Chain A
Amino acid sequence: MPGLSIADVSKTFTVDGKPFVALEGATLNLAPGEFGALIGPSGCGKSTLLRMVADLVAPSSGTITLDDAPPRTARLRHDIGFVFQEATLLPWRSVLDNIRLPLEMLGTQGKRGALTPAELVQLVGLNGFEHARPSQLSGGMQQRCAIARALAVAPRILLLDEPFGALDEITRYRMNFELLRIWSQTGTTALMVTHSIDEAVLMADRIFVLAARPGRIVDVVEVDLPRPRRFEHIETPAFSVLTDRVRRSLFSDIEQRFEHAA
């Protein structure tokens, strides 16, 4: 099936000689162009899941497909864009040259980006900073550059690992709306790991709530807020209902524990 499909994926690491289940039986689907969010406490395996989609880590069992192809094929086809928590820019390259970097990995034939690096600079709002070094940019601007870089080869899926986790809350809201605008203009599928309930509800079409020990998906929340999302949406009752629902799912295991104790 087109889009992202994760079927019964588990991952077991060995820590100090003992097996540690990072993720158990995760199943999720994202249609092309959809925005998914992974939210959960530390150690619930949400980053591991994202890294498995990017073929940085291999699953212990289960299958992941991107447009019916395994992650390795998708990666080698340059179909994956990845944004890390830190911008991870090359400090000796200018903004433009950093954005151009993934294009240099393409062979002489094959795919080309939908937007040129210069257009991407416009898209992420870094005009005037094309020739600046990453060290001259603020954290938010560095992350814009990283997003532009991830989009340079027009990936079929954009994976974001807490992309705004290192930013202050004001910059973070701004970047959320920026990313939504960029995502809607490129039409790519997106999967984002986040720690913020607000961010998940604001951005995603579907939120996958994970729990830890063992890491697993405990709830899927469909976000039916209209698009394009606006700042006013945050203040609507529908938004509050959704955040409450996600919060309840996040803390469901705690309630259960209390009930068992009682």
Chain B
Amino acid sequence: MQPSLSHPAARRTSRFTSRFASFFMPPALLIVAVLVLAEVCARAGVAARSFPAPSAVGIATWRDAHALFEETLSTLFVAIYGFIAATAISLTLAFVVYAVRRVETTVMTAAAVLSSIPIMAIMPMLLIWMGPFVSTRIAVTCLICVFPILVSAIQGVQAVGSRLDELFTVMAARPLQRFTRLALPVAVPYLFVGLRVAAPLSILGALVAEWSGASTGLGVLMLNAMFSLQIDRLWSTVCIACVISLGAYGYVCLIERLALPGDRVIEGASA
């Protein structure tokens, strides 16, 4: 049964739909317009050969769907484990910095130096040390993700007010109790800022890692398509990479919305 429009719930729904529409319609229309333009240009032969018609990319994606799906799963596997490893390392280091404040500069300097090294420059070294295995790819992904997460985690644990700190001192809290019951809950909104930045980076990290001698993954398909000049296939891998990057970002945002009350979410990606 359709509720009448005067019903509060119905009004709320319609307001929600209209806000949803005004939020998503303009970009959606823009994307559709660009796709149509590209299609027209490609069919009219105006565009270069390296610029395939969207429909051709769509057909290539459909044709390779099975392989694309398999390889994307492999990439996602590396991205997710790299992301989790980076989060675990960041929280451990944030705990160390929180428990022993003197080491903050040391940790941050080391992290900054590590993050300024171009990943392509240390990849050969990592390959020699760790071998051409999945673990190496996870390590590369982790390395790319760790800096923004670490910065936000440390910023978060330092946001604990001095009164609450004293309260935990009076209660004779041990360092780990203090961290899990005070610093971590205070840090969570900050942490999510870093996680939002790191989510698309994890996909980037996994793809880049696959370019150095991996046998599976979306990045491998990408390279193969490039070297064999299969432009349609190259484009479909790129499109999928974009989609899963966006998806990773959206997923972290969704978790954040579910985990935190609205007023604790820190807007904007400052990290």
Please list the residues of chain A having a beta carbon within 8 angstroms of any beta carbon in chain B.
54-56, 75-78, 80-82, 84, 86, 88, 90, 92, 101-102, 104-105, 153
A101-B181, A104-B177 in contact; A88/B171 too (CB < 8 A)?
Answer: no
Query: In the complex, what residues of A have CB within 8 A of residue B166's CB?
Result: 56, 82, 84
A90-B182, A90-B185 in contact; A102/B171 too (CB < 8 A)?
Answer: yes
**Distance in Å: Cβ of A66 to nearest Cβ of chain B:** 13
- The 8 tightest CB contacts between A and B, nearest first, are A82-B170, A88-B163, A105-B171, A102-B171, A76-B172, A105-B173, A92-B185, A88-B167
Query: In the complex, what residues of B have CB within 8 A of residue A82's CB?
Result: 166-167, 170
Q: Known contacts A82-B170, A90-B181; can you find 5 more A-B pairs with CB under 8 A?
A: A76-B172, A78-B171, A84-B166, A101-B181, A104-B177
Query: In the complex, what residues of A have CB within 8 A of residue B36's CB?
Result: none
Closest A residue by C-beta to B188: A92
Query: In the complex, what residues of B have CB within 8 A of residue A105's CB?
Result: 171-174, 177
**Distance in Å: Cβ of B260 to nearest Cβ of chain A:** 9
Q: Which B178-221 residues have a C-beta within 8 angstroms of A?
A: 181-182, 185
**Distance in Å: Cβ of B172 to nearest Cβ of chain A:** 5
Q: Which B141-193 residues have a C-beta within 8 angstroms of A?
A: 161, 163-164, 166-167, 169-174, 177, 181-182, 185
Q: Measured between alpha carbons, how far is A56 from B169 in the docked complex, in Å?
A: 7
**Distance in Å: Cβ of A229 to nearest Cβ of chain B:** 27
Query: In the complex, what residues of B have CB within 8 A of residue A92's CB?
Result: 185, 264
Q: Is the CB of B181 within 8 A of A56?
A: no
Q: Is the CB of A54 within 8 A of B182?
A: no
Interface residue from A77, A80, A90, A104 paired with B170 (Cβ < 8 Å): A80
Count how many pairs of residues, one from A and one from B, have CB atoms less than 8 Å apart in the complex. Answer: 43
Q: Measured between alpha carbons, how far is A77 from B170 in the docked complex, in Å?
A: 10
Q: Which B30-48 residues have a C-beta within 8 angstroms of A?
A: none
Interface residue from A77, A78, A84 paired with B163 (Cβ < 8 Å): A84
Q: How many residues of B contact A (CB 8 A)?
A: 16
**Distance in Å: Cβ of B264 to nearest Cβ of chain A:** 8
Query: In the complex, what residues of B have CB within 8 A of residue A78's CB?
Result: 171-172
Interface residue from B164, B169, B172, B264 paired with A90 (Cβ < 8 Å): B164
Task: Determine which residue in B169, B177, B264 has the highest number of CB atoms from chain A within 10 A of its CB, and name it.
Answer: B169
Closest A residue by C-beta to B164: A88
Q: Is the CB of B163 within 8 A of A75?
A: no
**Distance in Å: Cβ of B157 to nearest Cβ of chain A:** 15
Q: Measured between alpha carbons, how far is A74 from B120 in the docked complex, in Å?
A: 56
Query: In the complex, what residues of A have CB within 8 A of residue B174's CB?
Result: 105
Closest A residue by C-beta to B167: A88
Q: Is the CB of A56 within 8 A of B182?
A: no
Q: Measured between alpha carbons, how far is A101 from B185 in the docked complex, in Å?
A: 14
Cross-chain pairs A/B with CB under 8 angstroms, 5 sampled? A78-B172, A90-B164, A90-B181, A101-B171, A105-B171
Closest A residue by C-beta to B185: A92
Q: Measured between alpha carbons, how far is A77 from B172 in the docked complex, in Å?
A: 8
Q: Measured between alpha carbons, how far is A84 from B162 in the docked complex, in Å?
A: 12
Query: In the complex, what residues of A have CB within 8 A of residue B177's CB?
Result: 104-105
**Distance in Å: Cβ of B262 to nearest Cβ of chain A:** 13
Query: In the complex, what residues of B have CB within 8 A of residue A76's CB?
Result: 172
Query: In the complex, what residues of B have CB within 8 A of residue A104's CB?
Result: 177, 181
**Distance in Å: Cβ of A103 to nearest Cβ of chain B:** 10
Q: Measured between alpha carbons, how far is A90 from B171 in the docked complex, in Å?
A: 14
Task: Determine which residue in B163, B169, B170, B264 has the highest number of CB atoms from chain A within 10 A of its CB, and name it.
Answer: B170
Query: In the complex, what residues of A have CB within 8 A of residue B181's CB?
Result: 90, 101, 104
Q: Measured between alpha carbons, how far is A177 from B129 in the docked complex, in Å?
A: 71
Q: Measured between alpha carbons, how far is A80 from B172 in the docked complex, in Å?
A: 9
Closest B residue by C-beta to A75: B172
Q: Measured between alpha carbons, how far is A92 from B185 in the docked complex, in Å?
A: 8
Query: In the complex, what residues of A have CB within 8 A of residue B161's CB?
Result: 88
A86-B163, A88-B164 in contact; A56/B170 too (CB < 8 A)?
Answer: yes
Query: In the complex, what residues of B have CB within 8 A of residue A86's CB?
Result: 163
Q: Measured between alpha carbons, how far is A251 from B182 in the docked complex, in Å?
A: 43
**Distance in Å: Cβ of A92 to nearest Cβ of chain B:** 5
Closest B residue by C-beta to A93: B185
Q: Is the CB of A84 within 8 A of B172?
A: no
**Distance in Å: Cβ of A194 to nearest Cβ of chain B:** 19
Query: In the complex, what residues of B have CB within 8 A of residue A55's CB?
Result: 169-170
Q: Measured between alpha carbons, how far is A101 from B177 in the docked complex, in Å?
A: 10
Q: Measured between alpha carbons, how far is A153 from B164 in the docked complex, in Å?
A: 18
